[in-house]
Amino acid sequence: MSTLRLSLLSMAMLLGGCSLIPEYQRPASPSAAQYPTATQPATPNEDWRTLFNDPALQQLIESALVNNRDLRVAALNVEAFQAQYRIQRADLLPAVSANASESRQRMPSSVTKGKALINSTYAVNLGISAYELDFFGRVRSLSEQALQSWLATEEARRSAQLSLVANVANAYLTWRADQELLELTRDTLAADEQSLHLTTRNREAGKSSALEQAQAKTSVDSSRANLARYQRQVAQDLNSLTLLVGAPVPASLPARPLASELVQQVPAGLPSDLLQRRPDILQAEYKLKAANANIGAARAAFFPSVSLTANAGTSSRDLSGLFGSGSGAWTFQPQISLPIFNAGSLRASLDYSKLQKDVAVAEYEKSIQTAFQEVADGLAARTTYQQQLQAQRDLVEATQTYYNLAQNRYQNGVDSSLTFLDAQRSLFSSQQGLITDRLAQLVAEVNLYTALGGGWQASEATIQ
């Protein structure tokens, strides 16, 4: 028996390092080496505080990272997958258990042909049960697969956190923009009501027509409708922001104008290797590694499975003699299982594992392509939004001049109120467009931050 145990121990030492997992090689990136118009390298910096300059927004993001329920669920999923990995990893080592038992049995006189007897047996054992000797790496492959799945879940949590930061920022910026639109509408309504009052007086004095009075009334009604609409949007924006933050939004948040530098601009020129740190891409790669490890487990299923059950202990009819001389007992029970015929089940399992890896490769490559497109779109949006915003500022300035001239001519009786009302509507429309374009520019910067997988820190060196 000792010779058999030594043989099994030697075989375990020789085959302990055997693994049938294919060598992992990262697929080549299907995207270009750098983003369009890239001129400088950048080093990653995941601190979102470098992006947002608004203290109120930073406070809301801090609260969301603590209180948001979706992020809490993602963190709990990480802990759940970590526990699954620990369970799978435990199979690499034998599970040792100890047990003590007592057995009492009464034999009736009809069986003993005499006086009834009571037999007692006491036993204490220590041993292992059905421990698989991982000669071909099946258990190690499953453990590796569980590890990579756990790491993929951790990247999913990071992705959820990054999305939460961006969603809170976008919701906050939208709330601020609608607040400014609400204030603009209130000012416009006040101006329209003043114009209606003046037109009504002129109408009573015979200086204006009924058409001019009706048109002034139309402007007032339109502004009132816009006022109700923006009041509703501000309230709904606050509700959405409260849901994301996971706690009530403080009523005394310091408000900064939308035109100020609320969001730091992305530095010009970024290398595409920043994509490799995006959590969704890392998650796809960990899933690919998990699928690769699963192939090793499917391959190992073709080979014999060796398991071991062994225990040692002591037993006695009397409790006092349980640990006495001659009461020792042991069991050694190795078992080998060799697949012979399974109607192609093992081959199909291996083919399925390989196909799952091919699917994971395609998903990994698609995630890189999607990320590259998002960053390229963000960089293109940054340039065009700057031009669009400057043009809109020029338009507001021009319509303000037009409004001032029309107002002056109307008050002096040179022009009718129709020209003045047209200038008033043009000014309101251009001011609305400026706020909307500024919001779109800020949201584009936040989305570019998300597409890059986090913050950045510009370098002074240039790409050779």
pLDDT tens profile 284-338: 999 999 999 988 888 888 888 888 888 888 887 777 767 777 778 888 888 888 8
Strand partners, 120: 104
H/E stretch holding 419 reads helix 417-451
CA distance 350 to 336: 22
For the beta sheet containing 117-133, the strands, ordered from the edge strand earlier in sequence to the opposite edge, are 96-107, 117-133, 305-316, 328-337
pLDDT at 183 over 90: yes
CA distances from 272 to 216, 244, 269, 369 (A): 56, 31, 10, 11
Same domain, 139 and 129: no
**Cα dihedral sign, 291-372-279-174:** negative
Read off the pLDDT of each residue in 421-431 and give the average, rounded to a whole number. 89
Given 290, 318, 338, the domain boundary residue is 338
pLDDT at 339 over 60: yes
| 402 inside domain | yes
Three-class DSSP category at 315: strand
Is there a contact between 420 and 404 (Cβ–Cβ < 8 Å)?
no
Q: Which amino acid is at 381?
A: A
Is there a contact between 312 and 127 (Cβ–Cβ < 8 Å)?
yes
Instruction: Tell me what pLDDT residue 80 has.
Output: 92
CA distance 291 to 358: 9
Instruction: Tell me what pLDDT residue 380 has.
Output: 84
Three-class DSSP category at 296: helix
Closest alpha carbon to 267 in 11, 35, 16, 21: 35
Domain containing residue 54: CATH number: 1.20.1600.10
CA distance 377 to 374: 5
Location of structure tokens 């099946």: 138
Given 338, 363, 386, the domain boundary residue is 338
- Helix count (H) and strand count (E) of the chain? 9, 6
Q: How far is CA 44 from the centre of its chain?
A: 18
**Cα dihedral sign, 190-191-192-197:** positive
pLDDT at 141 over 80: yes
pLDDT at 355 over 60: yes
Same domain, 143 and 127: no
Is there a contact between 171 and 415 (Cβ–Cβ < 8 Å)?
no
CA distance 124 to 46: 58
| 388 inside domain | yes
Is there a contact between 218 and 196 (Cβ–Cβ < 8 Å)?
no
Split into its structural domains, the chain has a count of 2
Same domain, 232 and 318: no
Same domain, 120 and 62: no
| 441 inside domain | yes
Q: How confident is the model at residue 73 (pLDDT cuts 50, 70, 90)?
A: very high
CA distances from 391 to 173, 224, 285, 378, 398 (A): 21, 29, 44, 20, 11
Given 293, 314, 338, the domain boundary residue is 338
Same domain, 129 and 247: no
Q: Which amino acid is at 330?
A: W
| 464 inside domain | no
What share of the chain in percent tops pLDDT 70? 86
Closest alpha carbon to 287 in 371, 359, 373: 359
Q: How confident is the model at residue 37 (pLDDT cuts 50, 70, 90)?
A: very low
Q: How confident is the model at residue 12 (pLDDT cuts 50, 70, 90)?
A: very low
Domain containing residue 334: CATH number: 2.20.200.10
Residue range of the domain that includes 289: 19-92+134-303+345-458
pLDDT at 225 over 60: yes
Compare 375 and 46 and report the one with higher pLDDT.
Answer: 375
Read off the pLDDT of each residue in 365-393 and give the average, rounded to a whole number. 88
Instruction: Tell me what pLDDT residue 394 has.
Output: 95
| 10 inside domain | no
| 334 inside domain | yes
CA distance 287 to 193: 63
Compare 433 and 41 and report the one with higher pLDDT.
Answer: 433
CA distance 297 to 295: 5
Same domain, 291 and 390: yes
Same domain, 225 and 123: no
Compare 281 and 45 and report the one with higher pLDDT.
Answer: 281
CA atoms within a 13 Å half-sphere pointing along the CA-CB vector of 431: 19
Q: Which amino acid is at 349?
A: S
Same domain, 109 and 186: no
Instruction: Tell me what pLDDT residue 267 has.
Output: 65
Same domain, 226 and 375: yes
Compare 211 and 110 and report the one with higher pLDDT.
Answer: 211
Q: How confident is the model at residue 182 (pLDDT cuts 50, 70, 90)?
A: very high
Kindly report the pTM of this predicted structure: 0.79
Residues ≥6 apart with Cβ < 8 Å to 208: 199, 202, 416, 417
Instruction: Tell me what pLDDT residue 133 has.
Output: 81
DSSP state at residue 334: E
Q: How confident is the model at residue 1 (pLDDT cuts 50, 70, 90)?
A: very low
Q: How confident is the model at residue 453 (pLDDT cuts 50, 70, 90)?
A: confident
pLDDT at 11 over 60: no
- Taking all residues of the chain, what is their mean pLDDT, rounded to a whole number? 82
CA distance 297 to 290: 11
Same domain, 311 and 357: no
Q: How confident is the model at residue 439 (pLDDT cuts 50, 70, 90)?
A: very high
Is there a contact between 250 and 21 (Cβ–Cβ < 8 Å)?
no
Closest alpha carbon to 159 in 370, 395, 404, 6: 370
Same domain, 237 and 140: yes
CA distance 69 to 61: 14
The pLDDT tens digits of the residues spanning 75-86 come to 999 999 999 989
| 2 inside domain | no
| 283 inside domain | yes
pLDDT at 203 over 50: yes
CA distance 314 to 379: 76
Same domain, 70 and 106: no
CA distances from 205 to 3, 45, 198, 208, 417 (A): 123, 69, 11, 8, 15
The pLDDT tens digits of the residues spanning 381-415 come to 888 888 999 999 999 999 999 989 988 887 777 77
Q: How confident is the model at residue 421 (pLDDT cuts 50, 70, 90)?
A: confident
